[in-house]
């Protein structure tokens, strides 16, 4: 009977130890995943800011005034004289 009680106590001790190790491991994994989540949320915020800046830049460059200025400066384009304009009809 004492052997059976000792075996039962060892079994319970082993179960408690396994459970404790499981709790420690689970908490560690939870902390690691929380740190990763925080990092990814920060990266997401940074990307949203960069996306907003890109949208603003695109809207700025799409303005006719900016396009006209770039065409004149970078491409050397000019407004044609009235005598140089030809109307094409089908």
Q: Which pLDDT tens digit goes with each residue over 40-88?
A: 999 999 999 999 999 999 999 889 998 899 889 999 998 889 898 988 9
> Is 50 inside any structural domain?
yes
What average pLDDT does range 27-31 have in this prediction? Answer: 98
13 found inside a domain: yes
**Which stretches of 1-90 are DSSP H helices?**
2-61, 64-74
**46 assigned to some structural domain:** yes
Contacts (Cβ under 8 Å, ≥6 apart) of 77: 71
Q: Is 84 part of any domain?
A: no
Residue 90 has pLDDT above 90, yes or no: no
In a domain, 55, yes or no: yes
Asked whether residue 59 is domain-assigned, the answer is yes
Which residues have a Cβ under 8 Å from the Cβ of 60 and sit 6 or more positions away? Answer: 66
pTM over 0.75: no
pLDDT (0 to 100) of residue 28 = 98
User: What are the residues whose beta carbons fall under 8 Å from the beta carbon of 61, sequence distance 6 or more?
Assistant: 67
Determine, yes or no, domain membership for 41.
yes
Full residue range of the structural domain in which residue 60 is found: 2-77
The pairs formed by 20-28 with CB atoms below 8 angstroms and a separation of 24 or more are none
Domain count, the chain: 1
The predicted model gives 28-41 an average pLDDT of 98
pLDDT at 61: 87
């Amino acid at each position: 009977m004492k052997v059976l009680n000792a075996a039962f106590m060892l079994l319970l001790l082993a179960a408690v130890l396994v459970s404790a190790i499981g709790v420690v491991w689970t908490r560690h994994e939870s902390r690691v995943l929380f740190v990763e989540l925080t990092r990814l949320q920060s990266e997401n915020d940074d990307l949203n800011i960069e996306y907003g800046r890109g949208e603003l830049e695109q809207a700025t460059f799409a303005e006719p005034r900016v396009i006209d200025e770039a065409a004149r400066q970078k491409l050397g384009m000019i407004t044609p004289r009235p005598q140089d304009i030809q109307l094409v009809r089908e």
